[in-house]
Structure 1
Amino acid sequence: MAAGVSGGVLGAGMLIMPPVVAALAGGHSLLVWSAHLLLGASVSLMLAMSVHARVGPTSLAGAVGALLAPWAQRAVDGVFAVAFTAGQAAIAWFAATCLLAAAHGALPRPGTDGLLLALAVLAVAVLAALSPFSLPAVALRLRPWVTGLLALACVAWGWPAVPAAGADTPLAPSDLSPAGGQWLALAALFFAGVGWEAVTTVVPVAAASRRRTAAGVVLGAVAVAVVYLGLAAVQRVTAGAPATGDSVPTPLRWVLTGAVVTVLTSYCFTNVRTAARIVGRLRPGDEPRPTARGATLPVIAAVGAACCAFAVLGTRDGAVPLLLLGPAAAALTGYGLAAAGAVRRGGPLLRVTGVAVLLVLAGMTVLSVPLLRGG
């Protein structure tokens, strides 16, 4: 269960979120990371206790549907289908930013140069998703480890550099107040935290006691915290003052950039197929059966087109964290409905936990939206 939780959470966010959170939250980055990890672990534990002995192995949407009603399942699938497309656009923009920074030695300004590169990354990923190609199982098992080691190398070398406050870059909006930047960082971190819901699959399979289930989830959350807080701490030490990227030798930054783009493109490839499978669950039952790719070719193509459409919206400054608000909104919706299910179906302790999670999620939304809008 610990491996399932940590493996579900740790992914592309290890590469993307350290520089983004550092750019948005500045000196408060460790506090923002800690707040997200505490909330994510609480949600994961609540979900684990909700499905324990009540629900079989299923997705978050399936678990919410079993705890509440079929409409809730379709709602979660719907928001996650849209959110996945926005998330892939954010990943592609981060890859494009790294490519432009490698070429010029400094973070680029937003614009069509980044858009063309982001669309190129998405095109490669979508074409791979349309093909019969699949990553070998061993590659999927090793990918989080490779991503983590690459993320550690990037933050140790300060690549990409953390932009100065108010800089016009794709990593942070230039017109946000410091408080708004911290709330945007906390919201965007739900992209890195998509995966806390992995317990809806691993807990029913393990069929362990409630005590061992709680211990497994907590151990997995601790592993996630060690990785993310470790990366954030190294990021803070190496960043110090905002850098331009000139301190990283040109050959090294191209090596790091090539590795980052390759890994992120692989995540876009698998995530496009995941989004297509989610869309497939929303379609009527008489639709053509999914192929070995996990979904029909028209659905994959439609998902790819939606990813590209979101990428076109990313030409303004702060494109990466703003596009990450899509996955954040989906996670908040799914976790909020899961908390409502815990209140409805759980015992006294689980109901109290569900109410607490609902209040925290609602409070985050109420406090953050005015700041993100500049109010």
Structure 2
Amino acid sequence: MHSQAFSSELHNQLEGIRSWLDIRAYELGFGQLRISDTDVSEAVPKLASWLAEGRHGEMGYMERHASLRAQPEQLQAGAIRSICVTMPYLPQNSSKTIEEQFSAELARLEQSQEAVISLYARGRDYHKILRAKLQILVTELEEKIAHLQSNEGGLQYRVFTDSAPIMEVELARKAGLGWRGKHTLLLHREFGSFFFLGEILINLPLAVDEPVEPHCGSCQACIDICPTQAITAPYALDARRCISYLTIEHPGSIPVEFRRAIGNRVYGCDDCQLVCPWNKYAQHTSVPDFAERHQLGSSTLLELWSWSEMHFNQRHEGSAIRRIGYSRWRRNLAIALGNTLASDLDIQSKEDITNQLRDGLQNADLLVTEHITWALEQSQR
């Protein structure tokens, strides 16, 4: 890529380029495409305060790369714009409406022997899918500009998909892809929040889009439903209390104070999104890779507990879940099975779970042993 200045001829073509970007993004499966500048200074003080309070937990990378998050141009020299996109990830379900799907998901949380895995993680790893599609988009854009410029112009860019220290929600908010909801996720009146974000930092001076007005109003459904009270105030999240953090990012022993609240959630938590009124407008994905695999939306806890490490690696190949590793997977399942033992079960079911947990002690590491031991103790509650 070259760093030559863009000519006035190219500037005259920017409006046409933007129209092409919108069309091509839709063809690739993106929901929205908007443009922002790279100034995130408005969000920097809040990030600094969040880090200073230790609310990032053991996500040390958040603190190590704080300066890069504050200055996106350090991630890509010459960047003056961020092409921001969303990609819906809810798979199609021909027999249920969106609201019926969400009701069914909430109902499964009350079925103690069922294993609940966050909706976004039931298909293939979004990092690879979004990155590949963003790369297609920017490669075609580069070719289009090269044609317009007779190869005299130069494009500098870098693609991001939750893969580098970039304040993607802030860039997306500035671009008009939504507002930051009280749960801190990006939220849109016409698309809800069940989508992934991606960015391309670029040196192309495209016109920027305007932010949208927030529309949470007095609603606090997401705050009220949070099992661990991780949303400590509107627009304030303590990751150390969040079930998604605890079951995915947290590497060690899960604090005892949160184990019962985790319930039968094995990987992540969707509660705050499932009750959000705006998600009645959530969109289904057009990307086949996000379709559910290996019955992850209907498996029981004991079915997943029966997986060997080989099964775990094979069945989660190409999945975001695989990165937590087999030990954390078993840790999470042990907590969920312990909560099942504490629920109203028939004698045979209790016996089956107890026997499976005891068998699991034979080859368990220290982390899993601790959580199995706790789980077995719950049958006495």
Fold agreement, TM-score > 0.5: no
Structure whose CA Rg is larger: 2
**Structure 1 or 2: more strand by fraction:** 2
Please report the TM-score for the alignment, with normalisation by the length of structure 2: 0.24
Greater relative CO (CA pairs within 8 A, separation 6+): 1
**Structure 1 or 2: more helix by fraction:** 1
Please report the TM-score for the alignment, with normalisation by the length of structure 1: 0.24
